[in-house]
Amino acid sequence: MEQLRFDNRVAVVTGAGGGLGKAYALLLAERGAKVVVNDLGGSLDGQGADATPAQQVVDDIKASGGEAIANYDSVAEWDSANKIINAAIENFGKVDILINNAGILRDKSFIKMELDDYRKVMSVHLDGTFYCTKAAFVHMKEQGYGRIVSTASAAGLYGNFGQVNYGAAKLGIAGMMNCLAQEGVRYNVKANTIVPTAGTRLTFTVLPEDVIGKVKPEYVAPVVAWLCSEQCDQSGIMISAGGGYFSRAAIVEAPGVIFDPDQDITAEMVINKLDQIMSLEGAGEHGSAIEHAGSIMSKINSK
């Protein structure tokens, strides 16, 4: 198989000063991409700033013969998110690839979660993904090419104690990419979602020590590289990856039941059919909300 290459491609990777983002930036640069290594460099809970991590990754890329520049702006405000994308335009003339990866944690039980813990997490993850994507999309539309990969989490897809804020943001990001995928079709802009598992500063306290060494960020990067590539023919998909495991994740809906809509429908009728309503047998995906509505209409018409 021909090697996956990114020659003449310009990539922006947010939060690329460490962890997963660093692995993505190093791989793309090694394969020929010019990379904007963005990282605010704050603490795990989103305080402070430090130029060192992004600069270090740029130094590493350059030392290996690659091309990269550092950017230290925050994804979490519209103006600074624009500066991140503009760094690509000003230094490399365009933006082909955007990996929305920057993230923080403010884990707390729901009762103890302060409004600020909610807002800060939403602003870095959900707003940050929206801002960077909005700033990049206009260029991608104009050039008729773009690859956007955003980052969700199992906490959003499946739930996790103490992560109401984070889970909400992360599933919101998946929803954002699902919708954007449809708007990107006519411009050859693909929008997909990665659901990673990796040993980083984000997970050092939650993953067992013997597992950390096995779930290297470098093991998530290969599938992210494919999602960023010209070869990627998919849009609106979610890929779960970690420790050598790769799988598509999806939101599915089961056939369920359909009652006659011309009759009264009672709570007891629903309760009576719970086994069938709850069963995932025969479940499948819907390509869009319109397709979903069409499927309901055809069930109604079949009555």
Indicate whether 172 belongs to the interface with ligand NAI (CB under 6 A). no
- Give whichever of 158 and 277 is closer to ligand NAI, judged by the CB atom: 158
Question: From the candidates 166, 187, 219, 245, which is the catalytic residue?
Answer: 166
Q: What distance in Å separates the CA atoms of residue 157 and residue 168, rounded to the nearest whole number?
A: 9
Q: Which of 133, 153, 192, 240 binds ligand NAI (CB under 6 A)?
A: 153
Retrieve residue 303's tokens: 């009555």
Q: What is the pattern of x (binds ligand NAI, CB under 6 A) and - over residues 17-56?
A: xxxxx----------------xxxxx-x-x------x---
- Give whichever of 75 and 180 is closer to ligand NAI, judged by the CB atom: 75
- Give whichever of 133 and 153 is closer to ligand NAI, judged by the CB atom: 153
CA dihedral for 189, 193, 196, 201, sign (positive or negative): positive
Q: What distance in Å separates the CA atoms of residue 71 and residue 77, rounded to the nearest whole number?
A: 14
Q: Which of 176, 198, 227, 237 binds ligand NAI (CB under 6 A)?
A: 198
166 labelled catalytic: yes
* Cβ atoms of residues 10 and 84 within 8 Å: no
Q: What is the pattern of x (binds ligand NAI, CB under 6 A) and - over residues 113-152?
A: -----------x---x----------------------x-
* Cβ atoms of residues 176 and 133 within 8 Å: yes
Indicate whether 192 belongs to the interface with ligand NAI (CB under 6 A). no
Phi, psi of 45 (to 5 degrees): -95, 15
Provide the 3-class DSSP secondary structure of residue 92.
helix
Least distance in angstroms from the C-beta of 291 to ligand NAI: 28
- By beta-carbon distance, which residue lies closest to ligand NAI? 19
Retrieve residue 126's tokens: 């959900």
Q: Among 56-64, 85-93, 199-207, 277-285, which window interacts with ligand NAI (CB under 6 A)?
A: 199-207
> What is the number of residues in the chain?
303
Residue 259 CB contacts under 8 Å (≥ 6 apart), including other chains: 265, 269, 303
Retrieve residue 104's tokens: 């923080």
Least distance in angstroms from the C-beta of 42 to ligand NAI: 5
Q: What distance in Å separates the CA atoms of residue 152 and residue 287, rounded to the nearest whole number?
A: 19
Indicate whether 102 belongs to the interface with ligand NAI (CB under 6 A). yes
Indicate whether 214 belongs to the interface with ligand NAI (CB under 6 A). no
Q: Which of 14, 165, 193, 229 binds ligand NAI (CB under 6 A)?
A: 14
Q: What distance in Å separates the CA atoms of residue 71 and residue 60, rounded to the nearest whole number?
A: 15
DSSP for 206-255 reads TS-HHHHTTS-GGGTHHHHHHHTSTT----S-EEEEETTEEEEE---B--
- Give whichever of 121 and 180 is closer to ligand NAI, judged by the CB atom: 121
- Where does this chain bind ligand NAI (CB under 6 A)? 14-15, 17-21, 38-42, 44, 46, 53, 74-76, 101-104, 124, 128, 151, 153, 196-198, 200-203
